[in-house]
Amino acid sequence: MKPHWELNDLHWDQLIPAAVSPALLQTVKTAALIEANSGDYVSYLHNVFAGDDAFKAAADRWGDEEAQHGLALGRWAELVDPNFDFAQALARFRAGYRIPVDAAASVRGSRTGELVARCVVESGTCSFYSALRDAAPDPVLRDICHRIAQDEAQHFRLFKTHLERYQQREPLSTYARAKIALGRIFETSDDELSYAYFSANAPADARYDRVRFGTAYWRRAMSFYAQRHLQGAAHMVTVAIGSARLSRWTRPLGRLLWMATRWRLRRLEAQGAD
């Protein structure tokens, strides 16, 4: 089944390159690479959910939509910056960063745990594209991000449905689900974002430095968030964890995330970070 919107549905002739800030362009280029790399995640999910044909078919459709997100963002970035070669940047990213596609079991310890982590990722992407949509001065990017944010919300519901099914068969305690969710949010050992930022934006002769490029990406991406976007992400994560008691803490959690984000952004700015 094809994704429910196409690149030709977008009004590319309305693009306003002059309105786009360097930080926004760098952020979108990075996101384009991560989205376009979804094929590896489909292979990984096929291995982890071997024998579950319904889930594997859903993962195929999901992968097609994520790949399309990458194509739309990559094309937008090439139109704004004619020096950007999306295919070349993607090849650079894939040459240096691979997820464990051959894993026979989930890196989260169980299929239920894998689905908790997938829900957390979709919560993050849904809030991210909502934030970019609301901050983007260019109408084409606003349209792209609006469509992607809706897809990400749908992906969240898809993984949540399968999570509920697996929770019946291979149950995890609320504590275990919360631990996996928090672990995925604060996954610091992962190179994905920093290597994508490096591949999309660093000169060809630059040396990769995970902390430097990871911080550069975080600083740009988070600068587009408003408190409501973090509030939305906190709500979705508590839904994925599935605790009614925890859901009462969504608002204070969202506010805490917002305050911590603003504090770190101010600190990085004062330090003169990249």
Give me the residues that bind Fe ion (CB under 5 A), please: 35, 66, 69, 122, 152, 155
As measured in angstroms, the least distance from the Cβ of 135 to Fe ion is 18
As measured in angstroms, the least distance from the Cβ of 35 to Fe ion is 5
- Phi, psi (degrees; rounded to nearest 5) at 38: -65, -20
As measured in angstroms, the least distance from the Cβ of 269 to Fe ion is 29
As measured in angstroms, the least distance from the Cβ of 10 to Fe ion is 16
CB closer to Fe ion out of 212 and 235: 235
**Residue closest to 20 by CA, chosen among 123, 145, 111:** 145
As measured in angstroms, the least distance from the Cβ of 116 to Fe ion is 15
CB closer to Fe ion out of 127 and 215: 127
Q: Where are the alpha helices (DSSP H) in the chain?
A: 22-36, 38-48, 53-80, 86-96, 111-135, 139-169, 174-185, 192-201, 210-222, 227-241, 244-247, 250-270
CB closer to Fe ion out of 69 and 220: 69
CB closer to Fe ion out of 122 and 138: 122
CB closer to Fe ion out of 111 and 155: 155
CB closer to Fe ion out of 130 and 215: 130
Check: CB of residue 142 under 8 Å from CB of residue 136: yes
**Residue closest to 48 by CA, chosen among 109, 118, 102, 106:** 106
Q: How far apart are CA 136 and CA 52, in angstroms?
A: 40
CB closer to Fe ion out of 145 and 246: 145
As measured in angstroms, the least distance from the Cβ of 274 to Fe ion is 26
CB closer to Fe ion out of 66 and 143: 66
DSSP 57-100: HHHHHHHHHHHHHHHHHHHHHHHH-TT--HHHHHHHHHHH----
As measured in angstroms, the least distance from the Cβ of 174 to Fe ion is 25
Count of all residues that appear for the chain in the document: 274
- Provide the angle, in degrees to the nearest 10, between the axes of the packed helices 227-241 and 139-169: 20
CA distances from 271 to 65, 226, 238, 266, 274 (A): 39, 23, 34, 9, 9
As measured in angstroms, the least distance from the Cβ of 34 to Fe ion is 8
Q: Which residues, in sequence order, are CB contacts of 224 under 8 Å at separation 6+?
A: 24, 27, 131, 132, 134, 135
